[in-house]
């Protein structure tokens, strides 16, 4: 029995804008969920854990796990809680030991 998915598909025909992740230009759908759009674009991981350096990416997609953390304009934010907007400059949060330098 087929059920209706609670997830909405990203419309490939929607307007796309240029954003940058770790210096790589990406064309993402304007207004879509940032974490979802980055995943569709093939971005993984989003960050590394500060203690072990293990790679992390979106897990819950609802703001609970913090595995989707990225840095935008110097602020560490949850990508799953944001929408794609034009010109985002996204980086991974500071790596382990970077704050010690
Ligand atoms: S994916 Fe869990 S907080 Fe964003």
64 within ligand 1 shell (Cβ under 6 A): yes
Structural domain contains residue 23? yes
Return the residue matching tokens 């980055």: 38
Nearest alpha-carbon partner for 47 in 26, 75, 22, 64: 22
Structural domain contains residue 9? no
Structural domain contains residue 8? no
82 alpha carbon to ligand 1 midpoint, in Å? 11
Structural domain contains residue 36? yes
- Owning domain of residue 34: 16-94
Give buried/exposed letters for 60-71 (b at 16+ CB in 10 A, else e).
ebeeeeebbbbb
Please write the tens of the pLDDT for every residue from 1-31. 777 777 777 777 889 999 999 999 999 999 9
* CATH assignment of the domain containing 65: 3.10.20.440
Task: Tell me whether residue 16 is exposed, middle or buried, using C-beta atoms within 10 angstroms of its C-beta: 0 to 12, 13 to 18, 19 or more.
Answer: middle
Please write the tens of the pLDDT for every residue from 36-69. 999 999 999 999 999 999 999 999 999 999 999 9
67 within ligand 1 shell (Cβ under 6 A): yes
Structural domain contains residue 6? no
36 within ligand 1 shell (Cβ under 6 A): no
- Count of structural domains within the chain: 1
Whether 38 and 28 have beta carbons less than 8 Å apart is answered as: yes
Structural domain contains residue 4? no
């Amino acid at each position: 029995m087929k059920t209706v998915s609670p997830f909405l598909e990203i419309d490939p025909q929607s307007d796309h804008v240029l954003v940058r992740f770790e210096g790589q230009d990406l064309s993402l759908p304007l207004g879509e969920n940032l974490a979802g759009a980055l995943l569709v674009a093939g971005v993984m991981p989003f960050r590394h854990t500060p203690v072990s350096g293990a790679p992390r990416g979106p897990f819950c997609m609802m703001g609970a796990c913090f595995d989707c953390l990225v840095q935008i304009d110097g602020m560490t934010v949850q990508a799953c809680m944001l929408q794609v907007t034009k010109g985002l400059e996204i980086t991974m949060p500071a790596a382990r030991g970077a704050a010690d330098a």
